[in-house]
Amino acid sequence: MNQNTFLGLIEQSIRNHWEMPAMTDFQGKTFYYKDFACEIDRLHDYYKAAGIQRGDKISICGKNSARWAISFFATLSYGAVAVSILHEFDKASVQFIVDHSDSKMLFVDSGIWNEIDEKTIPKIETVFSLENFSLLKSTSDGLKQFDADAPAYFGKKYEKGFFVNDIVFRTDKPEELAVINYTSGTTSSPKGVMLPYRSLWSNTKFANDSLPFIESGDNIVCMLPMAHTYGLAFEILNSISMGCHIHFLGKTPSPPVLLDMFSKVKPKLVLAVPLIIEKIVTRSVLPKLQQGATKTLIKIPLVNSVIYNKVCGSMIEFFGGELVEVVIGGAALNPDVEKFLRKIRFPYTVGYGMTECGPLISYAYWTKYKERSSGKVVDRMEVRIDSEDPQNIVGEILTRGSNVMLGYYKNEEATKEAFTVDGWLKTGDLGTMDSDNFIFIRGRSKNMMLGPSGQNIYPEEIEEKLNSSPFVSEALAISEDQKVVALIVADKDALKENGVTDQEVDTLFQGVVAEVNSQLPSYSKIASFRLQEEEFEKTPKQSIRRFKYI
């Protein structure tokens, strides 16, 4: 068994942790590593009966669950290609991806399946339910017959049981296609990112090597979508390769739901998007510091360190009390929240990656992490800043190495466009890199706006300042007639708590904008603002679908 192959790592872990719990569904069943292996073996027989060949595509679309993970690993270990689809995508996107990817088989939540128009996915021959692996559709009489005979067949096959030496995983090759992951669609039509086995192995190996505090048997809460590479790589692939016990959330990760889950599971490692951490800090922690005696005591130097220690302790308690590190990814953290976390010495770090790298580009353990950075370039990856002075002058972040994709599925033009002539992947992000290889992101190159005299304006920097106001729920800075316009969604709860009447709202936000403008250079000041009634439309990663508002 080759530890330098992805499937080798997974197979070895299953063997080593045979009698230990692998996955538990929210208020549902626990699968031990031996059950996990047996379920994979059963699916291999179904694949064979369905006529699935090596390299065939199998789509998976559903909420996070143990069966999602089982179907994923069964697909790869059989030699087929997994197409992971975010279950929050609209019906048209799901249909497009299933069809575009040439998938022959689909694992799907029955609620999603009931919405799908079968005529739009003519290549699909077989459909399984992700709730219980029941057969929802098949065009093959042979498979229908196999399914009918399955209880007797498996009864005989597993008469004596299923043992460690019954596992049959194949050996994968580094450049072989493993997963097609369709991008979140922030830019209109989705692209299918082709990730090879070397990317899965390299990301998993880095997590194995860089999180020494994680041991077999540790509990992990899975709350990021598994169809997104960030959640898949670090909540699933790394956890299974280390012999951890994954707990699927099964609900929207709101602070009360998380509090309940963390208190039961007590994870050492938590992976989160900034939105979750910002909500915990701004809704649960900061308000308490602004009350009564605490407000005064926090101004006294020696006393405030005692208070900060207590606050840090209570935040660690929120995460179940055993927390070693929170890794934040997917977007930048609000600077005020970050300053606060630094002040209380909370163990957080910010990583950086993209689907096209499966996802990792940079990360640093929290004690080595530099404020406002996105971590340090990871093993087996290189980064170059496309500017004449990479440490001081912003340029596009370019990367290459083991984690990088093969290209976009059936889209040579987009693939060609994604790489430089000498083979570096263009991330589309702008930033600088210091002498220690720490990356500092300034924004997206396609979001960058030009000032009246050609100055570079980064909307993200304006938005960060607007989002620091307690009255702003979220904001977008856009360009209209070469002027910066702010689109603002008000925090209705904050307005209500502060007794702001409908008549006063406009004046209040004029003040917010004036305060932000006082911190901006003249060429990027906000010329006007508009209040939005509805929240901005977002991708499942919680990034705003900018192109809809420009």
| Residues 178-194: b if buried by 16+ CB within 10 A, e if exposed | bbbbbbbbbeeebbbbb
Residue range 171-220, pLDDT digits in tens: 999 999 999 999 754 344 668 999 999 999 999 999 999 999 999 999 99
pLDDT for residue 474 is more than 50 = yes
Peptide bond into 521 cis (omega under 30): no
pLDDT for residue 304 is more than 80 = no
Per-residue pLDDT at 37 = 98
123 touches 139 (CB < 8 A)? no
pLDDT for residue 453 is more than 80 = no
At the topology level, CATH places domain 451-548 in GMP Synthetase; Chain A, domain 3 (3.30.300)
SS3 30: strand
- The residue extents of the domains of the chain are 6-248, 451-548
385 touches 403 (CB < 8 A)? no
Mean pLDDT of the chain: 91
Residue range 330-379, pLDDT digits in tens: 777 888 889 889 989 999 999 999 999 999 999 999 999 999 999 999 99
Q: Selecting from 3.30.2000.20, 2.40.160.60, 1.10.3720.10, 3.40.50.12780, what CATH number does the domain 6-248 have?
A: 3.40.50.12780
Per-residue pLDDT at 51 = 97
pLDDT for residue 43 is more than 50 = yes
56 touches 105 (CB < 8 A)? yes
Q: Count other C-beta atoms under 10 Å from residue 53's C-beta.
A: 10
Per-residue pLDDT at 187 = 40
276 touches 258 (CB < 8 A)? yes
For residue 492, the one-letter residue type is K
Q: What is the C-alpha separation between 160 and 163, in angstroms, rounded? A: 9
Residue range 477-506, pLDDT digits in tens: 998 887 899 999 999 998 999 999 999 999
Q: What is the C-alpha separation between 503 and 490, in angstroms, rounded? A: 14
Residue range 56-84, pLDDT digits in tens: 999 999 999 999 999 999 999 999 999 99
Q: What is the C-alpha separation between 272 and 50, in angstroms, rounded? A: 38
174 touches 199 (CB < 8 A)? no
Q: Minimum mean pLDDT among 78-82, 136-140, 186-190, 404-408: which range?
A: 186-190
CA dihedral 246, 249, 250, 256 (to 10 degrees): 170
Per-residue pLDDT at 186 = 37
How far from the centroid of its chain's Cα atoms is residue 368's Cα? 23
Residue range 516-547, pLDDT digits in tens: 999 887 778 999 999 999 999 887 667 788 87
Distances in whole angstroms, Cα of residue 206 to Cα of each of 15, 211, 378, 379: 21, 8, 8, 7
Q: Pick 72 or 467 by higher pLDDT.
A: 72
Q: What is the C-alpha separation between 424 and 398, in angstroms, rounded? A: 6
pLDDT for residue 433 is more than 50 = yes
For residue 134, the one-letter residue type is S
Q: What is the C-alpha separation between 466 and 470, in angstroms, rounded? A: 9
User: Which DSSP state fits 384?
Assistant: E
| Exposure of 392 in the CB half-sphere (CA atoms within 13 A) | 2
Alpha helices in 383-458 (DSSP H): 412-418
